[in-house]
Structure 1
Amino acid sequence: MSRETYKSLVAGVAPLVQEVFPWDVAEEQEAGKDFLILDIRCPSEFQVMHIDGSLDVPRGILEMACDYGYEETEPKLVEARAQNILVVCRSGNRSILAAHTLQLLGYQHVYSLKTGLRGWSDYELPLVFSNGNPVPQDTADKYFETVLAPEQKGPVAA
């Protein structure tokens, strides 16, 4: 019996989600297009660094944050169903899943940041620390490096 994997889940909904590259977002912002930037990473990731002005709503509480009546309700997000929403995560995969969820919840103009904040940083677009100070490019580069422990790599084929 086969099972879904993280990659297959993302691949399954990716065609249903509009993705945009960081440089396209930068151009659209320069041209005056406004986005609600929704960072769906864990709070600990958000606190390390994020796009200035982005809204932190972890993917684990996203559905509740989108409606009134919950402790997790985020009024700015509830009222944004007709706004341009750019969903961001580290690499652009969790954001695809979250963007799909937002579409199911009635959000009309949802985009996932292709390549995620890693690509945002690679394109040298600005990030800030939790105190609002700019993140130096070399610090961002180091943070977004992939580092896996041996046990996270999976079994080695014999």
Structure 2
Amino acid sequence: MSTPTVTDVSPQTLREWMAQHQDLAVIDVRSAAEFQSLHIKGSYNVPLNLLSEHTEDLVSRLGERVVLVCHSGVRAEQARQRLATVGLESAYVLEGGASGFADAGGDVVRGASRWDLERQVRLVAGSLVLAGLVGGKFVSPKLRTVAGIIGTGLTFSAATNTCAMGKALSAMPWNRAAVEPTATSAIQQIPARSE
């Protein structure tokens, strides 16, 4: 029986690594707006969509010690799996994300406070379900279909580990307050690894 690969790292371990390893790269895969509101000092913002589209270019700049950060770990795990497909199998996902690192006493940079994208998704989905149920009771029973559609979408989202609503919300003006990095600016900010 083989030992499972450990892919998570605790905030305390990351703090130790940051003090001990010069080759450590902390990659934050959240949107620029989320990154701007709170991020680990010294981390690089490479949103998941850019990482997915330019994985090989990114890996060519990274060393062996990489920690991926998002809010809950879902996007960071998607990034870890994507990096593994091109040979970087030593990446870790930070437990608790940037806020967990801050709570553990880690050095973070705080900007304008914004709701995390995942919180926005919960608000919109919950509001639509509630509106569908209330509208179905008082306006027309057909409005209950809204709750069913949202439930189906959330089930599909969980099964495929994607989020169409999150993608749509990320395009909203309040989530675009920060300038989204381009592939060049996101990847070139990371120092090239020394051979």
| Cα pair distance change 1:58/1:32, threshold 3 Å | closer
- Post-superposition offset of 1:33: 6.1
Separation of aligned partners in 2, 1:23 and 1:38: 17
Corresponding residue of 1:85: 66
Whole-Å separation in 2 of the counterparts to 1:105 and 1:114: 23
Contact 1:91 1:118 in 2 (8 A): no
User: Mind listing any 5+ residue stretches in structure 1 that lack a counterpart?
Assistant: 1-14, 69-73
Aligned position for 1:65: 54
The number of residues matched between the two structures is: 126
Q: CA deviation at 1:107?
A: 1.0
- Name 1:119's counterpart in structure 2: 100
Partner amino acid, structure 2, of 1:37: V
How many angstroms apart in 2 are the aligned matches of 1:46 and 1:150? 21
* Distance change >3 Å, CA 153–CA 102, structure 1 → 2: farther
8 Å CA contact retained: 1:87, 1:112:
yes
User: Which of structures 1 and 2 has the bigger CA Rg?
Assistant: 2
- Mark the CA change 1:153 to 1:114 in structure 2 (over 3 Å): closer, same or farther: farther
Any idea what the Cα deviations from partners look like across 1:90-142, whole Å, max 9, x if unmatched? 12221111111111121142111111112112212121146xxxx9xxx7xx9
Larger mean Cα displacement after TM superposition, 104-113 or 25-34: 25-34
Contact 2:56 2:86 in 1 (8 A): no
Residues 44-91 of structure 1: CA deviation (Å, up to 9, x unaligned):
1112221122111111121333234xxxxx5xx5321x4211000012
Give ranges in structure 2 of 5+ residues lacking alignment: 134-195
Letter in 1 for 2:19: E
Q: Over the residues paired in the alignment, what is the CA RMSD in angstroms? A: 3.2
Match of 1:97 among 78, 87, 92: 78
Q: Does 1:109 align with 2:83?
A: no
TM-fit CA distance, 1:42: 0.8
Aligned partner of 2:126 among 134, 152, 157: 152
Give how far 1:22 is off. 0.5
Question: What TM-score comes out, normalization by structure 2 length?
Answer: 0.53
Q: Percent identity?
A: 26
Are 1:91 and 1:119, in contact at CA under 8 Å, matched by a contact in 2? no
Change (3 A) 1:30 1:100: same
TM-score by length of 1: 0.64
